[in-house]
Amino acid sequence: MREIGSLPAIFHLSIIAALFVAQFILPPFHHSMLTRIMVLAAYASGYNILLGYTGLMSLGHAMLFSTGLYSVGLTILYLGFEPLAAFTVALISSLVISLLLGAITLRTSGVFFLIVTMIFSQVFYLTTLYFNNITYGDQGFVISQYLHPINMGFFQIDFADRTVKYNLSLLVFSVAFLLSLYVSRSPLGLVLAAIKENPDRAEMLGYNTYRYKLIAFALSGTIAGMSGAVYALVFSYIGSSLAFIHNSINPLLWTLLGGAGTTTGPLVGTMLMVYVIDVTSSFTESYLVVVGIALILIILGFPKGIVGSIRKRWLTWLP
Amino acid sequence: MGIEVPITLGILDGVVVAMVAALTALGLSLVFGIMRIVNVSHGEFYMLGAIIAWFVVTYLGSFLLALVLAPLAVGGLATAVERTILKKIRYDPESTIVATIGLLYAIQQVVLATFGPYAREVSPPFYFRVDLGFFGYSGYKVGVAVISAILIAAVYLLIYKTRLGLFMRATQQDTEIAQAFGVPVRKVYTVSFALGAALAAAAGVLIVPIQQAYYLMGLDALLLSFIIVIVGGLGSIKGTLVAALIVGLLDGVVSVFFSPTLSRILSSLLVAGVILVRPRGLFGSGKTM
Amino acid sequence: MASVEDVPLLETQGLSKRFAGLEAVKSVDLRLEKETVRAIIGPNGAGKTTLVNLISGRLKPTSGKIYYRGVDITNLPAHKRASMGIVYTFQIVSLFPSLTVFENVVLAVQRRLGRGILLRLDRDSVYRQSEKALELVGLEDEAELEAGALPYGHQRLLDIAMALALQPVLLILDEPTQGLSAGEIEKITDLVKKLSKNTTILLIEHNISVVMELAHKITVMADGSILAEGPPSEVEKDVRVQSIYLGV
């Protein structure tokens, strides 16, 4: 019933395997595109746990992504942390920040939740601008010169190496991907689905719905922070623009396009959108108009998204 | 002379900001109260007001004409959006948010393509200085506060003294019952959405001689409106005014000593305080939040 | 000194609820004895549903106290009360329509069996007990359907199966037979009878023959207050009750 089941398990593992194999086949351009897509798809997968599984639409995830991003960036730049230590700091700080943000914003519901998450995220963005003597604001900073290779005895992890970048991205994506598969099939996931459908009834069954929503928020936010941390390590750039509202809207768009509430939707949506924007930005400056029209079209004619529609039509076993 | 002058100036500027913000937020609050939807492109309607004002003043040479044409044009655009997109998604709150985010990008990019990435000035329709004894204050800014107050009062009268206003209040109370009593709910929706957009556009026109027209100016106005409606409580005109004054004065005074960025951070933190203490806003009546 | 046996399962003292301008429940003192069926009857707007909403914790009282097994629960949130055994089924059927029938019941069972906030549990026993709950109401053949696709009567049965799966101490049923066929009403009546051997039941019901068949004691409400209370035979004869129901 709500078990992972062998078919979905094989399906998900083969997607990861295919992404792993792809690095040996793809030409350099697509190799680097996929590196970017996988980090962002991890971010979208985390977002999906909140939107797709729990039915909570946040416009504040840029703040959580950036918590991971800046945790890595600032500890490496100012404190001389090693990448692994910086990553650990990022995980802990994004967990703490998401718990705090969730605890406050989940006191509201519906559209108010969305407005309030957006306001707080904007505070975070403005803070990164206000302290631009530390964060370098919009211009940002680069950490590649401080990312020393990690010596693993018989081989080295060199963050400048594109194979390392690719596999780091694959790693963070796989964690987010498998975690969302696990959650969707777990007793916890069933409670989240119940809260999404009928929170009143879930409460009357004896579930503390506030606490479950907070768990979903923290899980989603920590995955966002983890993605931000890996983004910093892989792309070496840390700047305010990643904390801006556009970066909260992005995972919303990717998740809706791919299919909210499906495990593979965020990957499909991210991949499609990153390629579409890459293609369109080669002949128009204002690629955002594509984002805008895509959002309107999806909501008008395609509310289940790509994977959601496929699941409904053909593959009902798809998680 | 010490810091009295900058503080007085800060307070006066704060009141002016507050009145324009109240006008903008009122449009948002109205639409939410009646239709139960949040229009994320509300700030873009405000921006469009400013941009249209620049075009009208530059090519037709009349500010007064801009104050009439911009709200009409933006109201017309809003009507089209309401009739096509919002109706199609049946005013579902979350779908509306996604659709209006899309609209936000579309409007912004169209303006970028036609108006360009520049901040353009519009000179005030009248110049005079109000003499406050030891210093003067821009007469136009006083005019902006007064016109905003008049428009807010007009909305108040519309809602509480006219038949249309009665329909709006009935729809706000309970859509189904209103419909059963013969209120043309569909029309009320269209009118409310257009009116909300027109108010934002009017605010955009009024602000443009003070702040310049710029294609990215909408987001700030949207966030400010959000802060005001959360602090004041949605659907309350009084709450909107009080919250706008609190936020505006905070903005005005803090900006004197520190940066506007800090004042925006502080007013956003006010939101956190309000949610923790009074999740329905200072004057919120509602079952809604 | 009162012995433990004398403590009622549930007791309200001066319980009141005021909505803007309207006092829906006025200073109600209600005592429920263990393992009995108590019916609350009264005309529409008498405050019956408001009263049980106060007991289940969906509404906070304006004033008054609620004691459960002698403990003050007035300020406990609804989910706490549910996990203490006060189980409420909504007046209007309330399910998780896009989840399967089985998943709906699993949600009830795993809340009881799951350990910790992450609900660590033994899947086999959750499944066994969920199947049993469905068998009890005769929905075992529809386990894999979407709950929202069931006919109305079966949705009501599923609602009750979920309540039973929580193993309630006090089960509050708000008009369980509303909109059901005669056969379905009989099924629910039998079920309640069976349950009442070890569960306390608080029943709001308009169908008088169901009330007469099930209730050990009847509380009559009107205008937010308790008008009369007693065994069915007495209440039936009460002139004031007759005047409310028959308008004489």
Sorted by where each begins, the domain ranges of chain C are 1-85+169-248, 91-167
| Cβ separation A288–B105 shorter than 8 A | yes
State mean pLDDT over B178-197.
93
Buried b (16+ CB within 10 A) or exposed e, C170-188: bbbbbbbbbebeeebbebb
pLDDT band at B93 (very low <50, low <70, confident <90, very high): confident
Nearest beta carbon to residue C162 from set A205, A211, A212: A205
Question: Taking 50 as the threshold, does the pLDDT of residue B286 lie above it?
Answer: no
Q: Express as a percent the part of chain B with pLDDT over 90.
A: 54
Query: How close is the nearest chain A Cα to the Cα of B74, in Å?
Result: 19
State mean pLDDT over B186-205.
96
Give the CA radius of gyration of chain B: 19
- Quote the CA–CA distance of B149 and B21 in Å, as a whole number: 11
How crowded is residue A164: how many other Cβ atoms within 10 Å of its Cβ?
17
Contacts of C112 in chain A (CB under 8 A): 206
Beta bridge pairs of residue C30 = C12
Nearest beta carbon to residue B261 from set A114, A129, A245: A129
Closest by CA position to A191, among listed A178, A177, A205: A205
What is the per-residue pLDDT for C4? 54
Residue A85 lies in a domain: yes
- Quote the CA–CA distance of C232 and A255 in Å, as a whole number: 59
Residue B99 lies in a domain: yes
Is residue C109 within 8 Å of residue C126, measured between CB atoms?
Answer: yes
Contacts of A127 in chain B (CB under 8 A): 265
pLDDT band at B135 (very low <50, low <70, confident <90, very high): confident
Residue B284 lies in a domain: no
pLDDT band at B239 (very low <50, low <70, confident <90, very high): confident
Number of domains chain A is built from: 1
Question: Taking 90 as the threshold, does the pLDDT of residue C141 lie above it?
Answer: yes
Question: Among A285-289, B46-50, B84-88, C109-113, which stretch is predicted with the lowest mean pLDDT?
Answer: A285-289
Buried b (16+ CB within 10 A) or exposed e, A207-229: bbbbebbbbbbbbbbbbbbbbbb
Question: Taking 80 as the threshold, does the pLDDT of residue C228 lie above it?
Answer: yes
**What are the two backbone dihedrals, phi and then psi, of residue C174, each rounded to the nearest 5 degrees?**
-100, 100
Mean pLDDT of chain A: 92
pLDDT band at A157 (very low <50, low <70, confident <90, very high): confident
Comparing C154 with A319, the larger pLDDT belongs to C154
- Quote the CA–CA distance of B41 and B24 in Å, as a whole number: 12
Cite the DSSP H helix spans in chain A: 6-25, 28-48, 61-79, 83-105, 111-130, 132-135, 162-185, 187-197, 199-204, 209-235, 246-258, 265-280, 288-301, 305-313
- Quote the CA–CA distance of B207 and B141 in Å, as a whole number: 9
Contacts of C92 (CB under 8 A, 6+ apart): none
How crowded is residue A108: how many other Cβ atoms within 10 Å of its Cβ?
18
Number of domains chain B is built from: 1
CATH topology of domain C1-85+169-248: Rossmann fold (3.40.50)
- Quote the CA–CA distance of B260 and C139 in Å, as a whole number: 64
Question: Among A170-184, B253-267, C189-203, which stretch is predicted with the lowest mean pLDDT?
Answer: B253-267
Cα–Cα distance list, B100 to A248, A291, A300, B40, B97 (Å) = 15, 12, 12, 5, 5
B97: domain range?
4-277
State mean pLDDT over B208-234.
90
* Nearest chain C residue (CA) to A195: C96
A316 touches chain C (CB under 8 A): no
State mean pLDDT over A83-90.
95
State mean pLDDT over C92-116.
94
State mean pLDDT over B261-283.
78
Closest by CA position to A57, among listed A219, A300, A255: A255
Question: Among B245-254, C15-24, C69-78, C235-244, which stretch is predicted with the lowest mean pLDDT?
Answer: C235-244
What is the per-residue pLDDT for A66? 98
C208 touches chain A (CB under 8 A): no
pLDDT band at C244 (very low <50, low <70, confident <90, very high): low
List all residues of chain A from 164 to 223 with a beta carbon under 8 Å from chain C.
186-188, 190-191, 193-194, 197-198, 200-209, 211-212, 215
Query: How close is the nearest chain A Cα to the Cα of B99, in Å?
Result: 5
**Which residues of B make CB contacts under 8 Å with A?**
32, 37-38, 85, 88-89, 93-95, 97-99, 101-106, 108-110, 112-113, 219, 223, 226-227, 229-230, 259, 261-262, 264-265, 268-269, 271-272, 275-276, 279, 288-289
Residue A208 lies in a domain: yes
Cα–Cα distance list, A15 to A28, A146, A168, A169, A241 (Å) = 20, 33, 16, 14, 31
Torsion of the alpha carbons at B61, B65, B71 and B75, rounded to the nearest 10: -100
Residue A28 lies in a domain: yes
What is the per-residue pLDDT for B176? 87
Question: Among A302-316, B19-33, B154-168, C16-30, which stretch is predicted with the lowest mean pLDDT?
Answer: A302-316
| A contact chains, 3+ CB pairs < 8 A | B, C
Question: Taking 90 as the threshold, does the pLDDT of residue B128 lie above it?
Answer: no
What is the per-residue pLDDT for B284? 62
Q: The tokens of A33 are what? A: 């595109």
Nearest beta carbon to residue B101 from set A105, A112, A249: A249
Amino acid at A300: L
Question: Taking 60 as the threshold, does the pLDDT of residue B121 lie above it?
Answer: yes
State mean pLDDT over C82-111.
94
C128 touches chain A (CB under 8 A): no
What is the per-residue pLDDT for C248? 41
Q: Which secondary structure element, helix H or strand E, spans residue C86, and what is its range?
A: strand C86-89
pLDDT band at A248 (very low <50, low <70, confident <90, very high): very high
